[in-house]
C-alpha cells in the first residue's frame, strides 16, 4: 500500500475560508427556519443593476458569445478596463497590460503564482484578508505577517515593514480600502510605503477591489500613481464584484508590466482559459454605465457604516475604530472575553462567535480568520432593519456579561 497521502500536502495544508464558513453556517440556520442576522457576508446585498443584467441577457441570445474568447479577455473589455483605470485611478495602461480573470481572487492567485519562487517572502500587514496568506503559501511563497492594531487605525507604516523585511522579501501586499478593517490609507501614508518598496526593489500587489467604497473625507489613491516609477514592479488587482454588486458573475482583472501579464496569461491559458464570455459582456456594460449606478449603493453603505459604528461603540465590552471604506466594521471584542454569557464563557473570539450565534442568532466572523484574535468582522452589507436588530441582540447579550 502506498504511504502517499491521498490529498497532496500542498493542497491539504490550505485552510478553509473562515469567512465563507461562517456565512454558510448562518445561511444553513436561516434555511432551517432560524431567525439569523448575518454580518458575515463579504458581498453587497443589492441585486446587480438592471442595465447590466439586460446587457448580459442580450449577449446570451447572441451566438457570437457562445464561444471561447482570447484567454486574456475580450479586446473591447480590456480596452474599457484600461480606460476606466485612467479615468478612476489616473493610471495610464495599455490594454495589453490587462488580464481578465475569474474575479479579483483569481487575479491575486495568478499574480502570486507568476511572481513568487519558493521561499520568496511577502509582507502581509495584518489584520489581513484571509485569502492572501493561503494563496501565497500555495504558490510556494512565505507570508510574513506585519501586525498592526487599532492605535494606528490598522495601518502599517514604513517602520513596521522594515522590521519584518529580510533579504528574501520580494513583495508587499497592499490593500486599501481594507477587508477586514475598512481602513483607507491617505496619500502620504501610501507614498511612504510605496517609496520604501521602490527603494528596496520590492514588488507591490495592490488590491483595489473596494476602490469606490470610501466615505467621509477619505479618498482612494492608487499606489503606482502616487509613487512614480513603481508601476514597473506593481500589479493592480480590481474587478466588478463589489462596485457593481456582481460577486456571482466572477469578473476581475490584473494589470501589470507586459512581461508579467504575458506570463500570467500563459498560466491562465493552461488552467482556466478565458472568463465566461457572457459575464465579460456584463462587465463591459458595468464599466460603460453611469457612475451614479454605484454612487447610490455607496451612499447606502455610508449610512449603515455610521449606524453600525455608533451602535457597536455603545455596547458594553466593544470598541470600534471608525471604518473608512469597504463595508466592514472591525471592533475589538476583548471586553467580553472571559466573562459569563448566559452561563457560557468565551476564551477567544472563535468561541465568542459560536456563543453569539447559538444564543442570539447573530453571525460575525471571528478575528482569528484575519490574524487578529480579540476582534470580529461585521459586514454592514445587510438591510438597515437587520443591522439594527442584530445590534440590539448583541447589546442585550453583552450587557448581561458577568465576571
Ligand atoms: C480584499 C478583497 N480582495 C479581493 C476579493 C475578491 O473579489 P472577487 O469576488 O472579485 O473574487 C475580495 C472579496 O471578498 C476582497 O475582500
Taking only the tens place, the pLDDT of each residue in 250-269 is 999 999 999 999 999 999 99
Instruction: State which of 40, 127, 129 you would mutate to test the pocket of ligand 1, scoring each by most atoms of that ligand within 8 A of its C-beta.
Output: 129
Compute how many other C-beta atoms are within 10 angstroms of the C-beta atom of residue 232.
Answer: 11
Instruction: State which of 48, 242, 244, 245 you would mutate to test the pocket of ligand 1, scoring each by most atoms of that ligand within 8 A of its C-beta.
Output: 242
Predicted pLDDT of residue 19: 65
Question: Considering the chain, what is the average pLDDT of its residues?
Answer: 95
Percent of the chain beyond pLDDT 70? 99
pLDDT for residue 144 is more than 70: yes
Predicted pLDDT of residue 18: 67
252 Cβ below 6 A of ligand 1:
yes
Predicted pLDDT of residue 30: 87
Mean pLDDT computed over 322-345: 96
Percent of the chain beyond pLDDT 90? 89
Mean pLDDT computed over 269-285: 98
What is the pTM (predicted TM-score) of this model? Answer: 0.96
- Using the Cα atoms of residue 259, residue 100, residue 288 and residue 67 in order, give the sign of their dihedral: positive
128 vs 244: CA distance, rounded Å: 23
pLDDT digits over 15-74, tens only? 876 666 777 788 888 899 999 999 988 889 999 999 999 999 999 999 999 999 999 999
400 or 125, which is more confident: 125
76 vs 284: CA distance, rounded Å: 8
Return the C-alpha cell found at 345: 464563557
179 Cβ below 6 A of ligand 1:
yes
Return the C-alpha cell found at 355: 456563543
Ligand 1 atom at minimum distance from 42 CA: 14
Amino acid at each position: 500500500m502506498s504511504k502517499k497521502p491521498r490529498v497532496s500536502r500542498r493542497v491539504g495544508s490550505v485552510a478553509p475560508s473562515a469567512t465563507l464558513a461562517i456565512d454558510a453556517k448562518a445561511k444553513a440556520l436561516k434555511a432551517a427556519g432560524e431567525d439569523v442576522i448575518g454580518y458575515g457576508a463579504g458581498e453587497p446585498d443589492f441585486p446587480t443593476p438592471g442595465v447590466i443584467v439586460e446587457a448580459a441577457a442580450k449577449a446570451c441570445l447572441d451566438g457570437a458569445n457562445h464561444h471561447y474568447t482570447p484567454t486574456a479577455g475580450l479586446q473591447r473589455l480590456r480596452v474599457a478596463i484600461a480606460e476606466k483605470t485612467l479615468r478612476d485611478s489616473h493610471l495610464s495602461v495599455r490594454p495589453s497590460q490587462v488580464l481578465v480573470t475569474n474575479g479579483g481572487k483569481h487575479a491575486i492567485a495568478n499574480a502570486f503564482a507568476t511572481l513568487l519562487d519558493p521561499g520568496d517572502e511577502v509582507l502581509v500587514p495584518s489584520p489581513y484578508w484571509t485569502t492572501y496568506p493561503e494563496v501565497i503559501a500555495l504558490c510556494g511563497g512565505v507570508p510574513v505577517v506585519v501586525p498592526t492594531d487599532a492605535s494606528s487605525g490598522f495601518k502599517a507604516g514604513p517602520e513596521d515593514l522594515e522590521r519584518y523585511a529580510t533579504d528574501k522579501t520580494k513583495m508587499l501586499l497592499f490593500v486599501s480600502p481594507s477587508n477586514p478593517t475598512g481602513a483607507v490609507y491617505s496619500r502620504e501614508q501610501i507614498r511612504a510605503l510605496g517609496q520604501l518598496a521602490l527603494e528596496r526593489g520590492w514588488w507591490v500587489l495592490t488590491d483595489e477591489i473596494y476602490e469606490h467604497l470610501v466615505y467621509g473625507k477619505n479618498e482612494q489613491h492608487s499606489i503606482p500613481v502616487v509613487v512614480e516609477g513603481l508601476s514597473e514592479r506593481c500589479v493592480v488587482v480590481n474587478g466588478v464584484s463589489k462596485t457593481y454588486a456582481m460577486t456571482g458573475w466572477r469578473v476581475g482583472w490584473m494589470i501589470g508590466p507586459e512581461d508579467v501579464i504575458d506570463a500570467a496569461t500563459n498560466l491562465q491559458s493552461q488552467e482556466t482559459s478565458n472568463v465566461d464570455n457572457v459575464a465579460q459582456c456584463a462587465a463591459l456594460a458595468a464599466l460603460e454605465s453611469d457612475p451614479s449606478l454605484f454612487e447610490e449603493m455607496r451612499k447606502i453603505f455610508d449610512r449603515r457604516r455610521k449606524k453600525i459604528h455608533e451602535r457597536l461603540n455603545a455596547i458594553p465590552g466593544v470598541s470600534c475604530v471608525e471604518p473608512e471604506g469597504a463595508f466592514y466594521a472591525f471592533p475589538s471584542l476583548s471586553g467580553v472575553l472571559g466573562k459569563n454569557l448566559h452561563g457560557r464563557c468565551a476564551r477567544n473570539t472563535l468561541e465568542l462567535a459560536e456563543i453569539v450565534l447559538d444564543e442570539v442568532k447573530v453571525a460575525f466572523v471571528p478575528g482569528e480568520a484575519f490574524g487578529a484574535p480579540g476582534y470580529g468582522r461585521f459586514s454592514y452589507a445587510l438591510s438597515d432593519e437587520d443591522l439594527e436588530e442584530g445590534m440590539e441582540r448583541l447589546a442585550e447579550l453583552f450587557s448581561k456579561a458577568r465576571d
